[in-house]
Amino acid sequence: MSISKILLKLTVNGIARQIYVHPMARLLDVIREDFGLTGTKEGCGEGECGACSVILDGMLVNACLVPAVQAQGSTLRTVESLAGVDLSPLQEAFLHHGGAQCGFCTPGMLVAGTHLLETNAVQDEAGAREGLAGNLCRCTGYVKIVDALLATREGRP
Amino acid sequence: MNDYAHIGRSVQRREGRAKLTGAALFTDDFKIEGLLHGATVRSRVPRGRITGIHFEEGFPWDEFVIVTARDIPGKNVVAHLIQDQPCLADGVINHPEEAIMLLAHPDPQRVQDARERVRVDVEPLPPVLSIDESLRCDPVIWGEDNIFKTIHITKGDPDGAEAQGHLRMDATYLTGAQEHVYIEPNAIIAEATAEGVLVRGSMQCPYYVHHALHEMFQLPLEKVRVAQVETGGGFGGKEDFPSMLACHAALLSWKAGGRPVKIAYDREEDMACTTKRHPSRTRIRSAFATDGTLLALDVELLLDGGAYTTLSPVVLSRAAIHASGPYRCPNLRVQARALATNTPPHGAFRGFGAPQSLFAIERHMDEAARRLGLDPAELRRKNLLRTGDVMATGQIMRDEVDLIALMDRALTEIRYAEKRDSYPTLNASDDPVKRGVGFSVFMHGGGFTGSAETMLNSVAALEGTEDGRVRVLAASTEMGQGANTVFTQVAAEALQAPVDLIMVVPPDTSLVPNSGPTVASRTTQVVGKLVLDAGLAMRKTLLDAGLLLDGDVAGAIRTYVARHGALRTESRYQKPDFMEWDDTTYRGDAYATYSWACYAVDLRVDLVTYETQVADFVAVQEVGRALNPTLAAGQIEGGVAQGIGWGLNEEVIWRGGSMANHQMSNYLIATAVDLPRIRVFFEERPFAYGPGGAKGLGELPMDGPAPAILNAVQHALQIAPRQVPMTPEVLMDLVEGA
């Protein structure tokens, strides 16, 4: 018995997309498998690590916890949207400060950090740490990630 | 100060751009035609005999590739130091996560579903689930006595000296298992036929995987090819386990006629089934003179190795050698044993035994100071090693490091003296939040122990290309620690070339020589030196050919390759002249050099919730030269974070030999709000045998945080905690039971 799929229409990184998805599909799998946007990572599958952070209609979400059908008609941004020809200021700051090590949490960190900057949610180091608390990193101890975020906010290298 | 063009400068991470844009491809990111997804059927009992395997009736099993031990074409073994671990259980089960059967299917959901429809009947046998049960040999589960390895180190006359001590102490210290929690779970893709085996995946040591596949398939070495792809963290957790996973994926592909098979663990399976840091129990008996001079140490060190040998003998070795810490101790006995239990094998984890034994000695020193009525800093001032002193194995301390000055720098940064005095007064108030300050002093040997680097016989090579670039060829993997960037800097330095000329080739056993595994803080110190020497040799080759006169390295390489067809230079490991080591007596130069550190902590303990919060952390270390200060500091900060986790929060809960809390929601690693700003300071004394003076530093930061934190808790609460992780529950029992 096959379960009928649902037509999902949404805007992904500025491009209108439509695709048939399984009614139980996770947004994470649709992003990775159907759209081929493998920058969004799966670290835990239970919303703990934040490696699958994406921005859905202006909200920061863990794509592993969002049913794909919930993204119907919405606007989705993934890590692949952050750089144009040049890296974004936050990406540049990550490079300069050493905010990426193994690189696996990095896409989620960048998406979360971008969201924090765009919503002007960070005023100081404590706020940066609070804002990034949904994204786990095992390599850096967070110092250089926090530094990159604060430097970008203040418009300095 | 810095005469180098590239060394000592914070060159940006070479693969950084790809990692920042999402373009970097990790194992699970590859799109592969005809891919099958593999899954593993495991034991659910810690020990027993398999009496039957049942497949649910009415399920379309013919859609699946099914592999059991009987399908193994060569030897049923995951080859490492010794060959006691089967690739798939064949009749006998020795731990509750042991792999019994493998399944593969084009649909990843379907294969997970199928796994639940296999029933394995097991006749249970009594398991060994603790160090004590293993010591009692009731029952014997491995060899004749459950002991994987015993190591003895003796120096002077510990019994005679102990009898003369003014203060004699006897205390036992416990450390728990620790899960690596690299954010990328283990993943491997394999394609295997009799014509050849290709394995790609997340790993630290491509040649370990190569060796394991060669042994299991009994295929010629040249028919096995292993390539590392971008690896999302390792910390030791991808040292030996990928050999097992590669064997599993390759067996499925073999049975499927060579179709590609991927096994990508989800977090739960990764946490439950892969290796962890060895739990330990260390009993220290000690004797001190009235003035605090350390007279004797008698250390009994026990490691829980799990069900199979894997790396336990070498973890034990490093633990034993570091057991007396950075102290002058004329009379010493270390008796160390690694024991078998019916849990998944414990394995490499950053620090590799040293964190366990250094935790014990660094806690012991603070307890001794308290008993002697001395400040912990005073006690260390009397006993810290000085250049020329004799270390545990008879090694003369050659490093010209002033450990007292190193310690004083950390104490000044944390404002130790002031806090040591003022906190007891503050803590006398009714405020349930108590403050403490503490520290640890420690060292970490760089590279493999003793003669093992000589036996590894590592080789690295450089190759000039026809377009005038330089390829670095080494088996050392990038897993976030910065090998790509440091090798680039070192090669550029040797050739006096711009860094953009250098490309580090992703490790692939068909392309790169064996520069050894990416472990033991050896990549920069040992392999980096090989890259440097190969670079110097290439420069000499170009000069001898009459090229390079205008300093244009790219032009010289283009010309040379056009004239001669190829340009390649190699360098092979040579031990420092002074190094002598006897593996039978455990005497001699255990390591060519050590990195040295003092870590200091200022913390708060809440006696309502029993939570401990680190408020300030100072990490001062002597690491030779920091080749890339930003990357080096990143290594220290990350290692400290893991060390704080091991000390306070990261508790593996065992149930019947299994990790019960195998989810990120139940096993807690630190978030950004749980950690303070870790303040990192380097002392740089160039090491003559390291590239640009560098020593290994990757593991060092794991050793110091846990004892420093517990020492600060001793200061805050005037109690003697002897166990990590010191969770709120453990602390509450200690305080309220006291």
Residue with the two structure tokens 């799966």: A42
Residue B5: inside a domain, yes or no? no
Displacement of CA B273 from its chain's centroid (Å): 17
Question: In angstroms, rounded to a whole number, what is the distance separating the alpha carbons of residues B507 and B229?
Answer: 8
The pLDDT of residue A2 is 63
User: Does residue A1 register a pLDDT over 60?
Assistant: no
**B20 contacts A91? CB cut-off 8 A:** yes
Q: What are phi and psi of B707, to 5 degrees?
A: -65, -35
Q: CATH no. for residue A104?
A: 1.10.150.120
> Is residue B249 located within the same domain as residue B313?
no
> Is residue A62 located within the same domain as residue A96?
no
One-letter amino acid at B318 equals R
- Interface check for B584 against chain A (CB to CB < 8 A): the answer is no
Q: What are phi and psi of B420, to 5 degrees?
A: -60, -40
Residue A106: inside a domain, yes or no? yes
Question: Is there a contact between A50 and A32 (Cβ–Cβ < 8 Å)?
Answer: no
> Is residue B401 located within the same domain as residue B322?
yes
User: Does residue B3 register a pLDDT over 90?
Assistant: no
Report the chain A residue with the minimal C-alpha distance to residue B641.
Answer: A141
- Interface check for A105 against chain B (CB to CB < 8 A): the answer is yes
> Is residue A94 located within the same domain as residue A149?
yes
Q: Report pLDDT digits (tens) over A72-128.
A: 999 999 999 999 999 999 999 999 999 999 999 999 999 999 999 999 999 999 999
The runs of H, that is alpha helices, within B116-196 are 131-135, 158-163
Mean pLDDT of B145-169: 94
The pLDDT of residue B164 is 87
- Residue B233 Cα, gap to closest chain A Cα (Å): 5
- Residue B476 Cα, gap to closest chain A Cα (Å): 15
> Is residue B566 located within the same domain as residue B659?
no
Q: CATH no. for residue B310?
A: 3.30.365.10
SS (H, E, C) B636-667: HHHHHHHHHHHHHCCCCCEECCEECCCCCCCC
Mean pLDDT of B61-73: 98
Report the chain B residue with the minimal C-alpha distance to residue A106.
Answer: B20
**A42 contacts B28? CB cut-off 8 A:** yes
Q: Report pLDDT digits (tens) over B432-451.
A: 999 999 999 999 999 999 99
> Is residue B21 located within the same domain as residue B53?
no
If one counts the domains in chain B, the total is 3
> Is residue A55 located within the same domain as residue A97?
no
Percent of the residues in chain A that have a pLDDT greater than 70, as a whole number: 99
B529 Cβ neighbours under 8 A, 6+ residues apart: B571, B689, B690, B691
One-letter amino acid at B518 equals T
Mean pLDDT of B146-155: 97
> Is residue B20 located within the same domain as residue B37?
no
Domain stop point among B253, B273, B293: B273
The residue range of the domain holding A15 is 6-81
Residue A1: inside a domain, yes or no? no
> Is residue A54 located within the same domain as residue A10?
yes
The residue range of the domain holding B462 is 16-25+452-572
What sign for the dihedral angle of Cα B178, B183, B185, B189?
Answer: negative
> Is residue A69 located within the same domain as residue A97?
no
Residue A77: inside a domain, yes or no? yes
Burial tier of A56 (Cβ tally within 10 Å: 0-12, 13-18, 19+): middle
Report the chain A residue with the minimal C-alpha distance to residue B644.
Answer: A141
User: Does residue B1 register a pLDDT over 50?
Assistant: no
**A87 contacts B183? CB cut-off 8 A:** no
Residues of chain A found within 8 Å of residue B266, distances taken between Cβ atoms = 42, 45
> Is residue B688 located within the same domain as residue B614?
yes
Q: Report pLDDT digits (tens) over B444-492.
A: 999 999 999 999 999 999 999 999 999 999 999 999 999 999 999 999 9
Does ipTM surpass 0.90 in this model?
Answer: yes
If one counts the domains in chain A, the total is 2
User: Does residue A46 register a pLDDT over 90?
Assistant: yes
Mean pLDDT of B177-203: 98
CA-based angle B487:B493:B496, to the nearest 5?
135
The pLDDT of residue B23 is 98
Closest Cβ–Cβ partner in A43, A46, A134 for B665: A46
Residues of chain B found within 8 Å of residue A45, distances taken between Cβ atoms = 266-267
Question: In angstroms, rounded to a whole number, what is the distance separating the alpha carbons of residues B97 and B116?
Answer: 15
Q: What is the four-CA torsion angle of B716, B722, B724, B728, rounded to 10 degrees?
A: -50
Confidence of residue A148 (pLDDT cuts 50, 70, 90): very high
User: Does residue B2 register a pLDDT over 70?
Assistant: no
Question: In angstroms, rounded to a whole number, what is the distance separating the alpha carbons of residues B33 and B19?
Answer: 25
> Is residue A22 located within the same domain as residue A70?
yes
- Residue A53 Cα, gap to closest chain B Cα (Å): 12
> Is residue A28 located within the same domain as residue A58?
yes
User: Does residue B738 register a pLDDT over 70?
Assistant: no
Question: Is there a contact between B121 and B51 (Cβ–Cβ < 8 Å)?
Answer: yes
The pLDDT of residue B162 is 83
3-state SS assignment for residue B269: helix
Displacement of CA B523 from its chain's centroid (Å): 13
User: Does an H or E element contain B55, and which?
Assistant: strand B48-55
Confidence of residue A157 (pLDDT cuts 50, 70, 90): confident
Mean pLDDT of B181-206: 98
> Is residue B311 located within the same domain as residue B409?
yes
Q: CATH no. for residue A77?
A: 3.10.20.30
Report the chain A residue with the minimal C-alpha distance to residue B16.
Answer: A95
